[in-house]
Amino acid sequence: MRHLAIVVLAAVLVVALPAAGQPQNTDYILGPGDTIDVALFGDADLSRSVTIKPDGTIALPLVGEVKASGMTTTQLAAQLVRLYSKYKKAPSITVVVREFRVDRMYILGQVSRPGEYQIRPGLGILELLASAGGPTNRADLAKATIIRGGKETMQVNLLEAIAKSKSPDVQIVAGDVLFLPETDRRMVVLGQVNRPGPYDLVEGQRLTDLIAAAGGVTPRAAKTRAFVVRGAEQVPVDLEKAMAGVIEANLPLKASDTLVVPEFQNQIAVLGAVTRAGTFDLREGMKVVDALAMAGGRTEKGNLSQVAVIRLEGGQTKTITANIDSALKGQDTAQNLSLQHGDVVFVPERGWTVTDIIRYLSVANLARIIFRVP
């Protein structure tokens, strides 16, 4: 039956995969990382290939910064026509995606090539499963699981989907984990452990027994955010307490349990007039000067005397300005502020005011930058 399922899966994918040169999906929503061609007919000097920046904008001649994230190519083209109408009579503009941003998900468990895979527009679960080499002979296709955001678990019957030659009606999103369990009753540990995989433990043994079998956790393990997937249920566990000897936290395991140990992801963002804008891991004791060094330092236009640290607190933004130029000269080292998870360090260009900075970094932009919301 399982050999037949694999053969049928291959046949399904031959039909399902889009042909080369297929027209782009006009419903595709643009986001940071997409590279687009903006063409103004009859004016090659104003045409550009641009990549949407982390704040969701693109920079174009005459009109300057334009919001592109959250729009389709058709909507963006219409917006550009309105903007360029101030400078040109009846401009004709097209927008085409040259290179799609790379979103990633993970396929783990009983597949031929477990690991990280790119998500492309239009790809369903069956196509993604094929890119991982398909299921192994020991895969329980009827009990596949999607783990989303460390908070939501969905069971997916891939055996039924293959039989119907149709991908399940579940849209894969960036960061999803598709897990195919084994048909036997072994226990599995995934994520930030030294030897992830299945282990033959006796039912009733505890979390620490499984962690020991997997060679312990890695330095990047988020021990207080681990969880056990038990059927359709997701049980939060505190490995920090369990490994410290707290009996109540050391959960007894059941056959076919899967322990997931996520990665500790404390991050900050460094934006504005810096060499390499982006998100970075927050290290213990990190300050603004450290964050700027990780971003390659300021550009020639960067103004270090008015660096802003934007912090989300209770859904509201709090902006703290710091004279880093003074801190670097040793005149006022207190200006070199300590950073917290989720902080955005923004280096304005010379001539910007605090009001300009706050307007540029709205709450919506902060959410996209820190939490990678499309």
**CATH number of 115's domain:** 3.10.560.10
Beta bridge partners of 39: 94
DSSP 249: G
Q: DSSP letters along 301-363, please? A: TB-GGGEEEEEEETTEEEEEEE-HHHHHTTS-GGGS-B--TT-EEEEPBTT--HHHHHHHS-H
Q: How confident is the model at residue 358 (pLDDT cuts 50, 70, 90)?
A: low
Asked if 169 and 91 sit in the same domain, the reply is: no
HSE value, Cβ hemisphere, 13 Å, CA-based, for 92: 4
Q: Which two tokens stand for residue 127?
A: 């196509």
What integer pLDDT is reported at residue 254 of this predicted model? Answer: 86
- For residues 223-261, b (16+ Cβ closer than 10 Å) or e, as one string? bebbbbbbeeebeebbbbbbbeeeeebbbebeebbbbbb
Least confident of 29-33, 121-125, 127-131, 194-198: 121-125
Whether 9 is in a domain gets the answer no
Least confident of 84-93, 150-159, 309-318: 309-318
Task: Give the residue, 282 or 65, on which the prediction is more confident.
Answer: 65
Residues 134, 91 contacting (CB under 8 angstroms): no
338: containing domain: 267-371
pLDDT digits (tens, 9 = 90+) for 208-242: 999 999 999 988 788 888 899 888 788 999 998 99
Least confident of 18-32, 60-74, 164-178: 18-32
Asked if 238 and 197 sit in the same domain, the reply is: yes
Whether 298 is in a domain gets the answer yes
What integer pLDDT is reported at residue 81 of this predicted model? Answer: 94
Asked if 89 and 116 sit in the same domain, the reply is: no
CATH number of the CATH domain containing 89 = 3.30.1950.10
Asked if 116 and 89 sit in the same domain, the reply is: no
Residues 6+ apart with CB under 8 A from 175: 104, 105, 148, 149, 372
Q: What is the mean pLDDT of residues 9-16?
A: 39
Q: What is the residue-averaged pLDDT of the chain?
A: 82
CA-wise closest residue to 221 among 177, 259, 176, 265: 265
What integer pLDDT is reported at residue 370 of this predicted model? Answer: 46
Whether 1 is in a domain gets the answer no
Residues 304, 328 contacting (CB under 8 angstroms): yes
Residues 6+ apart with CB under 8 A from 75: none
Whether 17 is in a domain gets the answer no
Strands of 93-99's sheet in order across: 48-51, 35-40, 93-99
Q: Return the SS3 of 118.
A: strand
What integer pLDDT is reported at residue 288 of this predicted model? Answer: 95
Whether 196 is in a domain gets the answer yes
Residues 6+ apart with CB under 8 A from 258: 145, 179, 181, 187, 188, 189, 190, 228, 229, 230
Instruction: Compute CA 90 distance to the chain's CA centroid, rounded to the nearest angstrom.
Output: 40
- Amino acid identity at 82: R
What integer pLDDT is reported at residue 35 of this predicted model? Answer: 93
Over 70: is that where the pLDDT of 190 sits?
yes
Q: Return the SS3 of 259.
A: strand
Distance, CA of 134 to CA of 16 (rounded, Å): 15
Q: How confident is the model at residue 324 (pLDDT cuts 50, 70, 90)?
A: very high
Over 50: is that where the pLDDT of 21 sits?
no
What is the pTM for the complete model shown? 0.33
Q: How confident is the model at residue 79 (pLDDT cuts 50, 70, 90)?
A: very high
Q: How many domains does the chain have?
A: 4
Asked if 42 and 93 sit in the same domain, the reply is: yes
Instruction: Compute CA 338 distance to the chain's CA centroid, rounded to the nearest angstrom.
Output: 26
Task: Give the residue, 362 or 34, on which the prediction is more confident.
Answer: 34
Strands 267-272 and 344-347: what pairing? parallel
Q: Which two tokens stand for residue 203?
A: 């039912």
Least confident of 6-10, 51-55, 132-136: 6-10
Asked if 195 and 261 sit in the same domain, the reply is: yes
What integer pLDDT is reported at residue 335 of this predicted model? Answer: 94
What integer pLDDT is reported at residue 362 of this predicted model? Answer: 53
What integer pLDDT is reported at residue 359 of this predicted model? Answer: 64
Whether 74 is in a domain gets the answer yes
Out of 99, 115, 141, a domain closes at 99
- DSSP H stretches of helix in the chain: 2-16, 73-84, 125-131, 158-163, 207-213, 239-243, 288-294, 324-328, 354-360, 363-371
Out of 151, 183, 215, a domain closes at 183
Asked if 271 and 367 sit in the same domain, the reply is: yes
Asked if 342 and 296 sit in the same domain, the reply is: yes
CA-wise closest residue to 212 among 259, 150, 147: 259
Whether 178 is in a domain gets the answer yes
Strands 187-191 and 258-261: what pairing? parallel
Out of 160, 183, 206, a domain closes at 183
Whether 25 is in a domain gets the answer no
What integer pLDDT is reported at residue 166 of this predicted model? Answer: 78
Asked if 133 and 82 sit in the same domain, the reply is: no
Asked if 362 and 276 sit in the same domain, the reply is: yes
Q: How confident is the model at residue 141 (pLDDT cuts 50, 70, 90)?
A: confident
Residues 303, 274 contacting (CB under 8 angstroms): no
Cα dihedral 203, 208, 213, 218 sign = positive
Asked if 111 and 93 sit in the same domain, the reply is: no
Asked if 112 and 195 sit in the same domain, the reply is: no
Over 50: is that where the pLDDT of 363 sits?
no
Residues 6+ apart with CB under 8 A from 164: none
